[in-house]
């Protein structure tokens, strides 16, 4: 498996309604931070998340978080 593409060096703050979402893990999606199918053939798969109530979340943009799909500050450690 190759390293993910860094889509942005920082989180994506998003307001989400209740529902099912798929976070882009490969970094190639044109609809960041959500999956658009660009991972095909990369070895990456999107991460499913279910939101129970309307909330603001911070989704990882660098794709190196230890807590996918949520930002853990890993972008501060990337050279």
Delimit the domains of the chain by residue range: 12-77
- Position 2 confidence tier, pLDDT thresholds 50, 70, 90: confident
User: Would you say residue 79 has pLDDT above 90?
Assistant: no
The CA-based dihedral angle spanning residues 4, 49, 37, 42, taken in that order and rounded to the nearest 10 degrees: 30
* Distance in angstroms between the alpha carbons of the first and the last residue of the chain: 20
- pLDDT score of 43: 95
Rounded mean pLDDT of 56-78? 97
* 4 has a pLDDT exceeding 60: yes
Query: What's the number of CA atoms in the CB half-sphere (13 Å) around residue 15?
Result: 0
Could you give the count of Cα atoms lying within 13 Å of 67 in the half-sphere of its Cβ?
10
User: What is the model's pLDDT at position 38?
Assistant: 97
Q: Give the three-class secondary structure for 75.
A: helix
Q: What is the pLDDT of residues 21-54, one digit of tens each?
A: 999 999 999 999 999 999 999 999 999 999 999 9
């Amino acid at each position: 498996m190759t390293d993910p593409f860094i889509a942005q060096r920082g989180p994506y703050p998003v307001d989400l309604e209740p529902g099912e979402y798929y976070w882009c893990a490969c970094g190639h999606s044109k609809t960041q931070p959500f999956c658009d199918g660009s991972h095909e053939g990369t070895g990456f798969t999107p991460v499913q998340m279910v939101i129970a109530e309307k909330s603001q979340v911070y989704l990882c943009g660098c794709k190196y978080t230890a807590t996918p799909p949520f930002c853990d500050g890993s972008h501060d450690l990337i050279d």
